[in-house]
A and B are shown apart, each in its own frame.
Chain A
Amino acid sequence: MSTIILLLVTGLGLGALYFLIASGLSLTYGLMRVLNFAHGIFLTVGGYASWWIAVRLPLEDPWRFLVALVGCMLVGAIVAAAVEVSLIRPLYRRHIEQVLVTVGLALAFTALVQGIFGADPISYPAPRWTQGVTQLAGANIPNSRLLAIAVAAAVFLLLSAFLRFTRWGLIVRAGVENRAMVTALGIDVQRAFTLVFALGGVAAALAGALGALYFGNIDPQRGTATLIFAFIVIVIGGLGSFTGSVLAAVVVGLLQQFINYYASVYWGFSAAGDLSVVLLLAVVLLWRPQGLLGRSVG
């Protein structure tokens, strides 16, 4: 029983990381049909920025991490906005070129981080609380997972409120429905897009810092590796569907965690969970090509 609860919470923790990356990807795709292959670099930025800040701050533990977290969100927003303005916007509506440019950026940036900080994982100065465990129905749950779930839930609520109750959110929702009509009404969707892109950068940067706690280190390749699962999440959830990406992130995180655990216990094969996620993708595509909550084929 305690094993199941542990797997449930760690699976949700993994799903929380996926959600933080997938939400930005899904919104940018829904609004402008931009597939940002460089979205993984925001995760890398978040991880390295929070590490860089944390090791330099002369503060005590909880404050040090909180300041680093806020700092990495700021850096994530700035980097994302800079990428949008300098690389994505000039190629407006040329979707393939946009994908190509973000591919080039992802390769170059990962190589740059590797060149500056080295290819090996760097151990992360995690606060003591996140290294401990909490007793929950007899299971020892690592606090870093609980933190990831809490932050992702907060981001979900804030983003939902933003989309639902603000004027910008209204523009974004309308733009996802029918961008041509919103533009024809004289509303600048491009500016809403820059905002959404920056918010996606913030969420991914948070995922970078929380992922550093989750894995205990930062690594230049993790951005791309996690991004691939985030892609699977948004295809399963339905491209452009915000709620779909939440649902799919939870399903994928749980499936991966449960199968990874039981396959390695019973067959000694620990990659089965990762493979089963790809299998789930194939099944969803055969059954519902538009994804769980998607409406039409992208």
Chain B
Amino acid sequence: MSKQSDSLSPQGRGLGRGAWGTATAVVVFALLAAVPFADFEIPGLFNGLLSQPGALQLLALCAVFAGVALSYNLLFGYTGLLSFGHALYFSVGIYVTDILLTRYHWALVPALATTFAAGIALPLVLGAISLRVGGIAFAMVTLAFAQAGSILVYANPARLTGGEEGLGLDVTRIPDFLIGVINTKNLYWIALGYLVFTFVVCWWAVNSRPGKVWQAIRENERRVEVMGLNPYVFKLLTFTLSGFLATLGGIVYLLLLGGATPGVTTASLSLSLLLMVVLGGAGSLWGPALGGALYEYLDFRLLKLSSSSEIHALPGWLRAPLAEPLFILGVLFILLVFFFPGGIAGIAGRLRRAARPHRPLPGVEAPAKVAP
């Protein structure tokens, strides 16, 4: 992926090119907020009216994963930390809330408060341990911790997590305006609110002083050390913040789906987050958000396609691979890494530079300094 992101160049940082970037973001989010009133169809992309619960549910899922991808991007895109365990913090949001509400019959507010606390404490503790190693070892250690979470959920200790069957949410603990198909638009707004919140927090964070240090760590960790800063503290900060934002995403996901399924705890979700961020373009803000939304959309549509009659009419050797969304997404991803390493944001950057040929091209993409 392109590491020499625009955020480091003087003409624009983070959100985009100054006021234009802010204005674009406001307009885009305003348009998205108005979707539940959009009584028209987009043929081919969504089935039925855009304002119908089916399309809204899909869009809300896209918003949640856009936000979680943004949180992962703080780690991978801005600090250069390759984590394979982000699914763990997303799952904390889902399972802690669900268990407190459904198994222990807590009220919503204390349950959420406890989940927030867990969403800060867990990444703080696990980050403190796993950041003792760098590079590839860090990737494997985060993977191992997330796997421990997944094993725990599947093992169903004291019948808390529901094991393989998952755990449906006890809806009597949830306010009425968030229950039922008729209220999908409210859930959609909550999901969109989560995305906007995450977007603003990430924008603020990467432009703050610690955010500058994160990007410096990504470019050259040793130089940061030489300047007298302790990279460990800054890495732990980004790890905790991104873990917490993922936990928030998990809570929204739980409300949206009305229950927890153990699939979200597995390594394949962590890997999917990595795919989303690289698809959108690591180290920019709107790129990973777009990547997360697009990935979720494609995953959903490809799954629908795989059970369609067109696919079943194909000969066997073609049907087997095409019926597996992950096969298509995985191959797409490999091609992306080879031919468009900057993702969607990188393609947009190339087009922008092509439109203004007088601007000198910054150097070819340098690999992140993960393994020394």
Q: Which of B135, B144, B274 contacts A278 (CB 8 A)?
A: B144
**In whole angstroms, how far apart are the Cα atoms of A99 and B226 in the complex?**
29
Q: Contacts A108-B331, A108-B334, A114-B324: A103 and B154 contacting too (C-beta < 8 A)?
A: no
B136–A271 CB distance below 8 A: no
Knowing A90-B338, A103-B274, A108-B334, say if A239 contacts B136 (CB, 8 Å).
Answer: yes
> Inter-chain contact count A-B, CB under 8 Å?
147
Are B141 and A235 touching (Cβ within 8 A)?
yes
| In the complex, chain A residues whose CB is within 8 Å of the CB of B141 | 235, 281, 285
Instruction: Kindly state the separation between the CA atoms of A100 and B271 in the bound complex, as whole angstroms.
Output: 9
Please tell me if the beta carbons of B274 and A112 are within 8 angstroms of each other in the complex.
Answer: no
B320 touches A116 (CB 8 A): yes
Q: Assuming A33-B136, A114-B324, is B143 touching A101 (CB within 8 A)?
A: no
- Provided the pairs A271-B152, A281-B141 are in contact, do residues A115 and B333 lie with their beta carbons within 8 angstroms? no
A102-135 vs B, CB cutoff 8 Å, 1 = contact: the mask equals 0111111111101110000000000000000000
Collect the chain B residues with CB atoms within 8 Å of residue A110's CB: 326
- The closest CB in chain B to the CB of A296 belongs to B372
Contacts of B326 on A, CB cut-off 8 Å?
Answer: 107-108, 110-111
- Nearest B residue (CB) for A282: B129
Q: Is chain B's interface secondary structure helix, strand, loop, or mixed overall? A: helix
Cα distance A239–B139 when bound, in Å? 12
Give the complex CA separation of A273 and B371 in angstroms. Answer: 31
List the A side residues contacting B337 at CB < 8 Å. 91, 97, 100-101, 104
Determine which of A99, A112, A232 lies in contact with B320 in the assembled complex, contact meaning CB atoms within 8 Å. Answer: A112
Residue pair A231, B140 in contact (C-beta under 8 Å)? yes
**Is residue A87 contacting chain B, with contact meaning CB distance below 8 A?**
yes
Interface membership of B15, Cβ < 8 A: no
**Which of A251-279 touch B at CB < 8 Å?**
269-271, 274-275, 278-279
Chain A contacts for B129, CB-based, 8 A: 282, 285-286
Q: Does B327 contact A (CB under 8 A)?
A: yes
Q: Does A89 interact with chain B (Cβ within 8 Å)?
A: no
In the complex, what distance in Å separates the CA atom of A96 from the CA atom of B82? 8
Given contacts A93-B367, A111-B324, A286-B129, contact A101 B137 (CB under 8 A): no
Shortest C-beta distance, A281 to chain B (Å), equals 5
Is A297 positioned at the interface, with any CB of B under 8 Å from its CB? yes
Q: Which residue of B lies closest to A267 (CB)?
A: B157
B338 and A101: CB pair below 8 A?
A: yes
In contact, B133 and A104 (Cβ under 8 angstroms): no
Q: How many residues of B contact A (CB 8 A)?
A: 50
What DSSP secondary structure best describes chain A's contact surface? Answer: helix
Q: Are B330 and A97 in contact (CB under 8 A)?
A: no
Closest Cβ of chain B to A275, distance in Å, is 5
Cβ–Cβ contact B324 & A112, under 8 A: yes
Any B CB within 8 A of the CB of A29: yes
For residue A116, which residues in chain B have a CB less than 8 angstroms away from its CB?
320-321
Q: A95-B371, A228-B144 are in contact. Are A115 and B323 (CB under 8 A)?
A: yes
Chain A 75-100 against B: per-residue CB contact (8 Å), 1 yes, 0 no?
00000000000010011011111011
A87–B319 Cα gap in the complex (Å)? Answer: 25
Contacts of B349 in A (CB 8 A): none
**Additional pairs, 20, CB under 8 Å, beyond known A105-B330, A107-B326, A115-B321:** A35-B140, A87-B334, A96-B370, A100-B337, A103-B333, A104-B331, A107-B275, A108-B326, A108-B330, A112-B324, A112-B327, A114-B324, A115-B320, A228-B144, A228-B147, A228-B267, A232-B140, A275-B152, A278-B148, A285-B129
A contact residues vs B (CB 8 Å cutoff): 29, 33, 35, 87, 90-91, 93-97, 99-101, 103-112, 114-116, 224, 228, 231-232, 234-235, 239, 269-271, 274-275, 278-279, 281-282, 285-286, 289, 297-298
Q: List 30 A-B contacts (CB under 8 A).
A: A35-B136, A91-B337, A97-B367, A99-B139, A100-B333, A101-B334, A101-B337, A104-B331, A104-B334, A106-B330, A107-B275, A107-B326, A107-B327, A108-B331, A108-B333, A112-B327, A115-B321, A231-B140, A232-B140, A232-B144, A235-B140, A235-B141, A271-B157, A282-B145, A285-B130, A285-B132, A286-B132, A289-B133, A298-B137, A298-B371
Q: Which B positions have Cβ atoms within 8 angstroms of A?
A: 1, 82, 129-130, 132-137, 139-141, 143-145, 147-148, 151-152, 154-155, 157, 267-268, 271, 274-275, 278, 319-321, 323-327, 329-331, 333-334, 337-338, 341, 367-368, 370-372
